Amino acid sequence: MAQGKESFCCPVCDAAQYRVLMDKQVAHPLWWLDDYPELLQLRYVLCEACGYICLRPHLSAQQYDAIYRHSPGLDRETIKETRQSTLRQRKAFIDQHAVDLTTGTVVEVGPAYGDFLNLFPSFKRRLGIEPSTTYLNTVRQESPALEYHPFVLEDFVEHQPAFCQSADLVLACHVLEHAFDPRVFVENLARLAARGAYVYIEVPSIEGMARTKKPRYQNLYYGHVSQFTAPVIRRLGVMCGLTPVEIVHSHSDDYPVIRALFRKTAWPEMAAAAFQRHRAQTEQLTAAALTRLSDVLRDGAMSDIVIWGCGQDLLDLVLALPAPERQLFGQKVTLVDRNPGKQGRTFFGKKILPPAHASRADV
């Protein structure tokens, strides 16, 4: 049951039932700007329907945008040394499970200095969606082969629609936990992906954090709007039209993460094609049955035709009969059905009789 007066609607499953797991007071991330208090009272709440954990209250989208745009970024040399093994393991995971990957366009959301994008030199086009001006300016000077766009993901999809359904590989490493609305974020990742493309998501694992040997207190701070488990990540992907390929826990460098690879399978097209094949087969069988029924009705030697069972198939056939055969149907046919509810009813002007009024030998 919901606690307190705060309203809650889970962004993953839309449920309203939640439980407070933790209350925490932190320095407001924008305390150094006017009109913001020094302290911010936060709480972590658990959706009791799906297990999603999120931070309440949210900062506004404008506040988050201001935070990341003005962020000085991580120290280049420090993260370069500590992240290389992690980046290689991440790349190996994608190479192993993303079979028949097309190397046209790769898009990374929140690529920082582009170190991971640089591990995909075979792609003809490498795009980064990065709101931080620190990262943006550095990459434009040092890695001109990388095409950076100064947006948050939601604004990029809205203002650059030409990029939708264009990427063969979409990367989002340690950005989903920062997203204002995780479902909208994953929906936008899926919008960037072409049919058949892969979407890779990596987030901290709340399951693994409980077992890590190193203190990871910084995982519980205002920037991480969401805390994820593997089932929630899977559910998010499926809800946004993505098919799970491989989802695992990794403890690289004692920082537990969830690695999730999805594929944007062409399910709508596949479903439509399957339906059309089924329709064609059904119409072929119906045409054969209609020909058989028409031949029987036109056979002058058959003056009294008994049809057993007045179901949907017969109704469809009679509706498809040409007018002359429809008239012969009314003249020659006796209808019989075992269903007491149909007995005594009329079907195209013919009264439906119980089995006692006809013998199978008359059919």
What is the tally of structural domains in the chain?
2
Whether residue 20 lies inside any domain: the answer is: no
C-alpha 194: how far from chain center = 13
Whether residue 47 lies inside any domain: the answer is: no
CB 285 within 8 Å of CB 117: no
Which positions ≥6 away from 62 have C-beta within 8 Å?
none
Distance CA 207, CA 246 (A): 17
Instruction: List, run by run, the mean pLDDT of 10-residue segments along the chain (363 residues).
Output: 62 93 81 74 91 84 69 64 82 96 96 94 96 89 93 85 94 92 95 96 87 64 86 96 94 81 85 90 91 88 82 85 88 90 88 78 45
* Residues 340 and 234 grouped into a single domain: no
* Helix locations, the chain, DSSP H: 61-69, 76-97, 133-142, 153-159, 182-192, 206-209, 230-239, 267-298, 312-320, 323-332
* Residues 256 and 283 grouped into a single domain: no
Distance CA 223, CA 240 (A): 23
Whether residue 25 lies inside any domain: the answer is: no
Listed residues 205, 239, 265: the one ending a domain:
265
Dihedral class, residue 114 (left if φ above 0, else alpha if ψ from -120 to 50, else beta): left
* Residues 303 and 329 grouped into a single domain: yes
CATH number at residue 244: 3.40.50.150
* Residues 114 and 175 grouped into a single domain: yes
* Residues 314 and 245 grouped into a single domain: no
Tokens representing residue 54 in the block: 């999120």
Distance CA 27, CA 299 (A): 91
* Residues 247 and 287 grouped into a single domain: no
The DSSP 8-state label assigned to residue 344 in this structure reads: T
Q: What is the longest distance spanned by two Cα atoms in the chain?
A: 99
* Residues 120 and 251 grouped into a single domain: yes
Whether residue 312 lies inside any domain: the answer is: yes
Distance CA 237, CA 233 (A): 6
Q: Report the SS3 class of residue 87.
A: helix
* Residues 149 and 196 grouped into a single domain: yes
* Residues 82 and 215 grouped into a single domain: yes
Query: What range defines the domain where residue 163 resides?
Result: 66-265
C-alpha 304: how far from chain center = 58
Whether residue 156 lies inside any domain: the answer is: yes
In this structure, the strands spanning 53-56 and 39-47 are antiparallel
Determine phi and psi for 251, rounding to 5 degrees.
Answer: -120, 35
Whether residue 14 lies inside any domain: the answer is: no
The pLDDT of residue 363: 45
The pLDDT of residue 5: 47
Q: Report the SS3 class of residue 243.
A: strand
The pLDDT of residue 362: 46
Determine phi and psi for 238, rounding to 5 degrees.
Answer: -65, -40
The DSSP 8-state label assigned to residue 263 in this structure reads: E
Distance CA 292, CA 295 (A): 5
Tokens representing residue 122 in the block: 């075979």
Whether residue 143 lies inside any domain: the answer is: yes
The pLDDT of residue 104: 96
Whether residue 153 lies inside any domain: the answer is: yes
* Residues 183 and 142 grouped into a single domain: yes
Distance CA 233, CA 199 (A): 12
* Residues 208 and 296 grouped into a single domain: no
Distance CA 151, CA 345 (A): 68
Listed residues 204, 236, 265: the one ending a domain:
265
The pLDDT of residue 82: 62
Q: Report the SS3 class of residue 23.
A: strand
* Residues 316 and 218 grouped into a single domain: no
The pLDDT of residue 265: 86
Listed residues 244, 265, 286: the one ending a domain:
265
